[in-house]
Amino acid sequence: MNSFGINQEYERGVVFRLGRLHETKGPGWFWRIPLADRIVKVDLRTLTWALDTQETVTRDGVAVRVNAVLWFRAAQAERVVTTVADWRSAVIQAAETAMRDAIGQSDLDRMLKDRTAINQRLLELLAQTCERWGVAIDAVEIKDLDIPSQMQRAIAKEAEAIREKRARIIKAEGEQEAARTLADAANVIAASPGALELRRLQTLTEIGVEHNSTIVAMFPTELLEAARKLGAA
């Protein structure tokens, strides 16, 4: 029988001496008592697991299908060995249950708009369960979210209505701003006869640029009134 063993850097050896928990050996070589010591090695590296798709119902009654990715590792080798028979399977089952609970406590709108909060809630639920097993949950992320086709059409219509509302508001604000600017310009022109005449001349220039065959020239009312007086004299 071998009287020594070797652990890799990422391994820990839980030593049972005559059936009782004795100590945990770190990386490198270590002594063991043949026939009296039994070594259970625990891998401390982070494991990545894709959870199976779960069918559940949100808090507002929408049936959804979700799946997630889980990253977890053994944090305390002694507790991993002594508190649960198959710690990997236990963590996966707990993660699937926690995912259904987290979805059931959330509305569909929140799931679509704030998935980070759902992931955080799922992480908290899972960490509370796995802590007593000596397992640390590094992260859990919802990967896919499938909703019924009729709900997808309803969401698309809602988004289209919101975009149309924004477009109308922007157009109305633009027209309001243009009307305010035109009113200010009219006040300035009305206060200065010279400005009105310059505007008329500019209009004639713009008409001429367009190569129109007919130009209607508007004379100032002051000139027409002076011409009427001269004719009467």
State pLDDT tens for residues 192-231: 666 666 666 666 666 666 565 565 555 555 555 655 666 6
Q: Among 69-73, 97-101, 176-180, which stretch is predicted with the lowest mean pLDDT?
A: 176-180
pLDDT at 123 over 80: yes
Amino acid at site 226 = A
pLDDT at 45 over 70: yes
In 3-state terms, what secondary structure has residue 57?
strand
pLDDT at 131 over 80: yes
For the segment 28-48, the average pLDDT, to the nearest whole number, is: 90
Distance between CA 118 and CA 128 in Å, rounded? Answer: 16
Output the CA–CA distances (angstroms, integers) from residue 149 to 37, 60, 64, 106, 144, in the order listed. 60, 17, 11, 20, 15
Distance between CA 171 and CA 63 in Å, rounded? Answer: 39
Tokens of 76: 């305390």
Contact by Cβ (8 Å): 48, 60:
no
Query: Residue 138: pLDDT band by 50, 70, 90 thresholds?
Result: very high
| pLDDT of res. 213 | 57
pLDDT at 146 over 90: no
